[in-house]
Amino acid sequence: MWLYLVALVGLWTLLRFIRERKVVSNLQDKHVFITGCDSGFGNLLARQLDRRGMRVLAACLTEKGAEELRNKTSDRLETVILDVTKTESIVAATQWVKERVGNRGLWGLVNNAGISVPLGPIEWMNKEDFAKILDVNLLGMIEVTLSMLPLVRKARGRVVNVSSAVGRVSFSGSSYSISKYGVEAFSDSLRRELSYFGVKVAIIEPGAFKTALISNGGISSSIKTLWDQASSEVKEVYGEEFMLYYLRTMTSLVETCSEDLTLVTDCMEHALTSCHPRTRYSAGWDAKLLYLPMSYLPTFLSDAFFYWSSAKPAQAL
């Protein structure tokens, strides 16, 4: 019986591999709009798709980032300045895209722009700290999507939203996780609604990767800033020992992040170019072997894991 089961799984895997290898035709005629192209995943994806001959419309936050990207790519790639937290910037970028795609519509929209700080224990944060993360990672993504959807629908194209492995299972520093849980919910609803129009929606769930989003300097600075702004009562309850332990733990986690960003951008490229893209892509071994399985565990088991991994700071309270 086990032999039949292994054979069945092997056959399913082979058929899935063959199916996913089919590539969309006329890629050189298709436009893809990517947010957050100053650095990291967005920057690498823009260069990757440009090398493949696609017409990349790269949105950067700064002119410096846009210029550096143009210097590394062909004349096909075009850049625009975009701040996803500002409605007027999104409206202007949408008009800019319309002028370039014309009646063909927009084949691909990649919502990649995001930030990871402020990051720290919930009780150290205030409403404005949460709002800062949500404005970029969730509300900005939603507004960009709503603005670009008519163009994507015209092309019967793709929407690729960058979530995170911690959008499945949350741990300390949950402001980022909260935003990514929202990305997951929005993407699921969007996928079901747009399937009627032939539009496909994919979610990218990276594990921990070294990008400008996650750096030791940024994480350390955020934790120290939140500690400084915390009330005297919070500081008394948590204590200096907890703060230092939390700081060491988070900075050491940054050191373990993968530097191979192609694990993520290859997933994005597949979602944009395959005839049969996946609904979700888990990028990185930590996403596949830790976060994804943990999201299916009973709550008491996942809670026990996080309690065990943070037992030392908990004992400091």
In this predicted structure, what is the pLDDT of residue 80?
97
pLDDT value for 7? 72
Q: Is residue 109 part of a domain?
A: yes
Task: Give Cα separations from 312 to 121, 249, 300 (angstroms).
Answer: 15, 11, 19
Q: Which of 176, 238, 246, 291 is catalytic?
A: 176
Region 123-127: what's the mean pLDDT?
90
Cβ-proximal residues to 149 (8 Å cutoff; 6+ apart), any chain: 159, 194
Among the listed ranges 108-122, 128-142, 177-191, 218-232, which one has the minimum average pLDDT value? 218-232
Which residues is 283 bridged to in the sheet? Answer: 206
CA pair distance 35, 281, nearest whole angstrom: 19
> Considering the domain boundaries, does residue 63 fall inside one?
yes
Does the pLDDT of residue 312 top 60, yes or no?
no
Q: What is the DSSP string of 216-247?
A: HHHHHHHHHHHHHHS-HHHHHHHHHHHHHHHH
pLDDT at residue 263 tops 70: yes
Rg of the chain (C-alpha set)? 21
Give the chain's mean pLDDT: 89
pLDDT greater at residue 56 or residue 4: 56
Q: Do 23 and 274 form a contact (C-beta atoms < 8 A)? A: yes
Share of the chain above pLDDT 90, in %: 57
Side-by-side strand order, sheet with 55-60: 78-81, 55-60, 31-34, 108-111, 158-162, 200-206, 280-283
Q: Is residue 12 part of a domain?
A: no
- The CA-atom distances, in angstroms, between 264 and each of 43, 205, 211 are 12, 8, 12
Element (H, E) at 56: strand 55-60
Distance (Å) of CA 177 to CA 15, 30, 127: 35, 33, 15
CATH code of the domain in which 97 resides: 3.40.50.720
Q: Is 281 a catalytic residue?
A: no
Is 4 domain-assigned? Answer: no
Query: Are the beta carbons of 154 and 109 closer than 8 angstroms?
Result: no
- pLDDT(120) > 50: yes
pLDDT tens string 233-253: 989 999 888 888 888 888 877
Considering its fold, how many domains does the chain have in total?
Answer: 1
Task: Give the model's confidence band at 217: pLDDT under 50 very low, under 70 low, under 90 confident, else very high.
Answer: low
Q: Across residues 295-314, what is the average pLDDT?
A: 75
8 A C-beta contact, residue 118 and residue 225: yes
Among 10-19, 94-103, 289-298, the least confident range: 10-19
Q: Compute the average pLDDT of residues 205-223.
A: 76
Beta strands (DSSP E) in 135-219 are 158-162, 200-206
Provide CB contacts within 8 A for 199, sequence distance 6+: 152, 153, 156, 157, 158, 159
Average pLDDT over residues 113-140: 92
More confident residue, 98 or 231: 98
Query: Confidence class of residue 81 from pLDDT cuts 50, 70 and 90?
Result: very high
Stretch 53-58: mean pLDDT, rounded?
Answer: 96
Cα 112 from Cα 157, distance rounded (Å): 17
Residue 16 within any structural domain of the chain: no
| 241: in domain | no
Please list, residue by residue across 274-313, b when 16 or more beta carbons sit within 10 angstroms of its beta carbon and e when fewer do: beebbebbbbbebbeebbbebeeeeeeebeeeeeeeeeeb
Asked if the model's pLDDT at residue 232 lies above 70, the reply is: yes
Range of the structural domain that residue 154 is part of = 24-210+259-291
Residue 270: what are its φ and ψ, rounded to 5°?
Answer: -60, -40
Q: Is pTM, for the whole model, over 0.85?
A: yes
Q: State mean pLDDT over 243-265.
A: 85
153 Cβ contact list (under 8 Å, min separation 6): 105, 194, 197, 199
3-state secondary structure of 249: helix
Give the pLDDT mean for 168-179.
82
Say what the pLDDT of residue 60 is.
Answer: 97
How far apart, in whole angstroms, are the C-alpha atoms of residue 240 and residue 238?
A: 7
Query: Within a domain: residue 298?
Result: no
**Residue 114 within a domain:** yes
- How distant is the alpha carbon of residue 255 from its chain centre? 20
Span 249-263, mean pLDDT? 83
Q: What is the pLDDT of residue 274?
A: 95
pLDDT band at 317 (very low <50, low <70, confident <90, very high): very low
Instruction: Please check the confidence at residue 268 and state whether its pLDDT lies above 90.
Output: yes
Q: How confident is the model at residue 314 (pLDDT cuts 50, 70, 90)?
A: very low
pLDDT number for residue 316: 47
Average the pLDDT over 133-155 and give the result: 97
> How far, in Å, CA of 178 to CA of 160, rounded?
19
